[in-house]
Amino acid sequence: MDFSLPKDLEALGERVLGFVKEDIIPYEADPRWTAHGPTEELRRELNGLARRAGLLSVHVAKEYGGLGLDHVGKAVVLEAAGYSMLGPVALHCHAPDEGNIHLLEEVANPEQKERYLRPLATAEVRSCFAMTEPHPGAGSDPGMLATRAEKDGNGFVIRGSKWLITGAEGAAFAIIMARTGDGPNDATMFIADLPNPAYRISRTLDTIDSSFMGGHAVVEIEDLRVSGDAVLGELGKGFRYAQVRLAPARLTHCMRWLGSAQRAHDIAAEYARTRTAFGQPLGAHEGVSFMLADNVMDMHVSRLAIRHCAWLLDQGHRGSAESSMAKVISSEAIMRVADRSLQILGGLGLTRDTVVERIFRDVRAFRIYDGPSEVHRWSLGRRIVERRGSIRSV
């Protein structure tokens, strides 16, 4: 098996990494990076830097100004972008917009692509994806979806509550999942222009993470009227389209956070080389050097899992089981890397004199969103017990 990368892709990854190190990392102390993510002003400034460098939205289809990268290409570029948590914001390959771009590329009709995909792909606007609901609605179990869309003439009226909606504040449109029937799979996706008084942000949640544009909001949808043209794809296929979005989007999270893990490790490794204790550099003590070695092994395994799953998606496989495995493997390994890196830094790691503390907080959330590790293990375990699917050990 040949795991080598094409030279042009390797060069692109190095170019992105160099751009992030030189142009984006200096912004990490900018006060416009708030507890609820970078401000819109900061986003546009970072987008401008990427645009001038020829790196804005490189993952997007060529038709919309990108390079049309396949999933393996994204694995290389998004990891490099993630070396700073502001890197994906600058390159406009962050969540939820990256996942929404992919979904619209796959499902939207030509009119919707011009109206929504083109301005989103070029970073003129942001978007959000409204599926998760407070109890007793949909969370890890999408089948509990409670938001409903009732037929009203040629359109629909949508009613329901959503929460943990990333990027809702400042989004130009929302992709909303709602029930359009009483069957277990009767769900439909709708595109709604924002702002709209019927789509009301009741509060922005205070969360452990701080890298997502627009934060995470609670949204009340009260008699939101949309036309029949607002249906994304076909009626009743919302859950199917959710998988079109979620499997690749789950993987791109892994790519970006792997870059951040590498950054945390690099900071810890440099500290271990220069900080002395008990008459020698920290890194000369096995307790520290072993942690650095474990970091490298965790990142190596994560990178292999991510790129293998990306390759499968490029070959036309659905990759749901593989993306679940990659998500669990990498989210837990990346958390360990961040934890060890903070531990090596000691008291310095507890401060914001380095970005490791912020990486540590953000990657802890990664074990929960896009499916907690336990849900993925449960899904994989069920496949194994029922001896179905493409898991090799079945």
**198 and 225 Cβ atoms separated by less than 8 Å:** yes
Kindly report, residue by residue over 206-248, the tens digit of the pLDDT: 999 999 999 999 999 999 999 999 999 999 999 999 999 988 9
Mean pLDDT score across all residues of the chain: 95
CATH class of 7-94: mainly alpha
Q: What is the pLDDT, as a whole number, of residue 393? A: 44
Q: Average of pLDDT values for 176-185? A: 92
Q: What is the pLDDT, as a whole number, of residue 1? A: 66
Confidence of residue 392 (pLDDT cuts 50, 70, 90): low
Kindly report, residue by residue over 266-317, the tens digit of the pLDDT: 999 999 999 999 999 999 999 999 999 999 999 999 999 999 999 999 998 8
Q: Where are the domains of the chain?
A: 7-94, 127-235, 239-386
- The answer, yes or no, to whether residue 391 has pLDDT greater than 60, is no
Distances (CA, A) of 393 to 255, 325, 329, 375: 25, 13, 16, 19
**Would you identify the CATH topology of the domain 127-235?**
Butyryl-CoA Dehydrogenase, subunit A; domain 2 (2.40.110)
Q: Average of pLDDT values for 84-88? A: 98
Name the percent of the chain lying above pLDDT 90: 92
Is domain 239-386 annotated with CATH 3.40.47.10? no
Q: Average of pLDDT values for 129-154? A: 95
Q: What is the pLDDT, as a whole number, of residue 2? A: 76
Confidence of residue 133 (pLDDT cuts 50, 70, 90): very high
Kindly report, residue by residue over 340-350, the tens digit of the pLDDT: 999 999 999 99
